[in-house]
Structure 1
Amino acid sequence: MLPDSQQQPLIDCIRDIGHPEAVRRFFGLLKELIDIVNLPNGDARLAFTVRQEKVTIIANINFFQALRIQKPRRGEVEYHLTVKKSCHDRLKINEELAFEPLTEKSDYLAVIIGQSNVHLMYQPTLRTCWEDCLLELVESNKRGPHSAKHNADVYRAAEDEAFQSDIIRLADDPTLADRVLNGYSVEEPEAEYEVEPEQPNQPHNLVLFGPPGTGKTFALQPYLANKNSSLITFHPSYSYEEFVEGIRPEISNGQISYKIRKGIFHKACSSAIQQAGYGTLADCLNDTPENRSRKLKKAPACYLLIDEINRANVASVFGDLITLLEPDKRLGAENELWLTLPYSQERFGVPLNLFVVATMNTTDRSIALLDIALRRRFSFREMLPDPTILGVVDGVELGSLLRTMNERIEYLLDRDHQIGHAYLTNVDTHAKLCAAFRDRIIPLLQEYFFNDWAKIQLILGDNSAWGKDPDLRLVRIKKKYTSAAASKLFGEMPDSIDEVVTYEINPSLQQSDYEQIPADAFVKIYQK
């Protein structure tokens, strides 16, 4: 490609910025901006400008700056994302973010992020604030005309990845155009990025499964400490359109328009690609397989954390991406694959440095939705109750208590319905122990056994054969109805002549009169 007179200012500015990776990342953001505002190149509401004297590229929407990249005279490359002032309190908790009002009386702020803190740009709260602001700026009645002329090539570089690559190559090597004229070809120089430690020693797709309260969600906390992680909780109505990409209706000036919005999985893949030095997924796919494999294997690990993965119809949510999840089919792997997304028609693959870690509650009946195709592509790690971490409270050995109840549950039901240690982890007083049984454990047993109170008594040692004194029982027999008692109650014999037994929870426990519940009520659960 030979630059024309209008492209040259853009090329010169990119050269002065001096950071190809930062420029690619900026164009990736600009592509997102274009998708969100859904305005064509040349629309009067847009003005993408290049200011060589300040080494900056700015995207204006109506009268306002919406996105900016600049290289100060001193310091590193900066990105400026415009958000509403009302977002300031939500964002200022991150001390690494800097803020600057667009004007003295403006309702908008520029969030300034340096290249060394570029990971902050993908923080979910910031991205939500920025995207919401873009939609508001489009509707603003405070419109130009802009004093600066719109540079259509900035828009084109965001939309056309091949053109973008050519522009960056020309900026990196000013003699390239002359050599192309003379018939020489030049390979694109590699984008510079920091070499990070190799990927962690764990499966690329991992499901932590077990009964409730075994610390599955807690096990995600170390991953969340990584700056390159994102968390989502599945629910029954979660869909492919929310997870990967989909078309969403939006109303503008009374007119309904439909825009393609990226889901959290797509954004997680894009973030992982950027950690390898690529601006967009397309840049990664346009690279040679050798370079792609080397960069992705050395790039920092990124994590997508999915809590309650079996709450959604997983096969439907992942759709045609099931195959791409396999470790050897990921971008940078030996048998890498990619596909074309149905809505945007963009090429898409799952990078090698993205790890998917999910949790699954085995008591949830929706576990059946995990089909064989998904099970084959995920590794499963069982997390069982750990009584050894529990202490002694008021003479009650919580570990022995939990172990005995779970052994009984496993006999009467199955191992998937045990009670997790988290139900008793924070219990350090007798009152808290009573509250845990009243509010959490007994209701859970009611759910497990469908109000089969005789079995609940067996679990709690409240059955007559175990030998607990009646006053110590947490679940008591309220009344046994003999034929005579039933006739007295109804005036005649009901159709059923079977003996009926009704139960009640210890009234002192129900009424929070915990002083009337002796410690032996719990000791006698595991000690006959």
Structure 2
Amino acid sequence: MAIIISSFKNLINKINNDLGDFCEEFAYTRKKLANLGKAPNRYILFKYEIEDRDWAINEGGGVEIQYHIYLRNGELGYGLGFNTQYVPFANDKTPIEWMKPYDDAFLTLLENNKSQWESLGFRWIEGDEEMLRSPENGSYTLFGKSTSLENNTLNDDFYNQMLSDFKGSLFDIYQDVFSLKNNMIYQQELKKKDMELINEVVELLKYKHNIILQGAPGTGKTYNTAAIALSVLGITDIDLTNHEKVMERYKSLQDNQIFFTTFHQSLDYEDFVEGLKPHVQTDETGQSIGVTYEPEDGMFKLACRAVQTDETKDIVECIDDYLQTIKGFSNKKEIPTITGNSSLYVWWNEGNATISVRSVKSTSKKKEDYTPSPLNIEKVKLQATGKGSENNWQQYAQAFIEAVKNAYKAKANKPVVLILDEINRGNIAKIFGELITLLEADKREGSSHPIQVTLPYSKLPFSVPLNLYIIGTMNTTDRSTGSLDYALRRRFAFVTLKSNVEVIEKYYDGIQNQNLKSIAVALFNDIKAFIETPQHLSSELDIDDLMVGHSFFMAATEQELFYKIKYEVIPLVNEYINDGILNVKADEKKNAFHAWESLTIIEKETTA
């Protein structure tokens, strides 16, 4: 049989009528997907009001992916359309801005489903992929099916297939595009929030130079330091919300522009700043002849020195090259001392293991090439790389090293980040010593009130460069240590990272596991409600200090989530209870833990 099309309007009315209950299903589905206040006309799919139009779209589809049907030049076509021709009422965005999220979602799905969709008979009727990828104002693309008409007669099989597509394949694609678009926008909003946090913390870090990220376990303190570090270093060519990319770049900059250490109760000044370390001495045959103790740089000093180190220059090679320019007393050079108050003559007699050094103020009457302060070349190189020192004449050795750096432009002033994990677990006075004052921004080298100290072991002058940025992390629930040293607290700004359910949702959307997402989110909300119940929560700490971090609720499988809840979350909450941080009755505790171990929420008591 065939269908005679007397007018396009009559065809639209017939389609709406034959679709029956699907029109209502479509309306309520779109209401949910588009987050509308109320459903549009649920008795029709296509709206047709202007008599001379040869096309129609679904009710309300002007600024969305749309069901589209047309009849022109003896051809009937239908499918999913993408329109950037007009925006009748939503003028807060351009037509392209309205449609681009739908375009991107469709193209993403097309990449994985193209062969399947083509096997169903769908193709580009108007435009193509490239047009959808780079839309212009006034453009229109249509992905669907079409057929030619003879004498306005429509094949009955084509008509029935069209109705089937509207209710089946096209509806599935329509929903998938809308859902993916919603998720992509949601992910973009989360990324925007992540970047707002990163940018806010980075601005604070640039101002204060020292910050501490504090929060309960699992809130992402250590996790976030990587992105913050890269941002303050000026890294702009990667997505700082993409943790995989962030860690890849982070690792490439470790021990160059990023330094990391964890504070603990055994850490001291000798480990962190500088200390005497044993060095085995050997004779010409390689046999040990004893042990000497020489100053060696710790993590803090290495990070400070990295600010002025040009990693494109090998300081050891620069020293070797410099020696060639001062061969013989006749080629001696005058270099400034570390303090800049005097000068030194330096020269090298080829073949010697030492560099000849003498103050320009020397009044010795011995021969002119007499050197009372020879520098061991190998030890100078060790001092230059922070692996040892010229223990006899350290200040002269440092003056020589600075002269080499200046000669070969091996000095820089690049930003460097030092991350101090678990900063509250260390004995601050024992670790920083006299350098605590130098941390302040205005006491640093190059600031308005620079302060310099002489280090106790190397006897070298030392200051903290302005371009060193320190990020500490601190667990607010850790009671195994005392409160953070007030001297340090004054010199740091504090940023509290809160447990965030949106991070959990983002994670499960990323791995496309909505079932596990619902379980994890329900557990998160239930445990949060349990902790912040007024009868439970101690007045000393608030929910941001105690709420179990979102990372504990992010798992690849239900088994992994079970392990995290049973062996990490429950013991942590139990510790809160045992320490008196939470006031919970025994039966309440038993019921809660039993429910959480089963990955369910606590049953609420009901009253008759």
Q: Which has the larger radius of gyration?
A: 2
Tell me the TM-score normalised to structure 1 length. 0.45
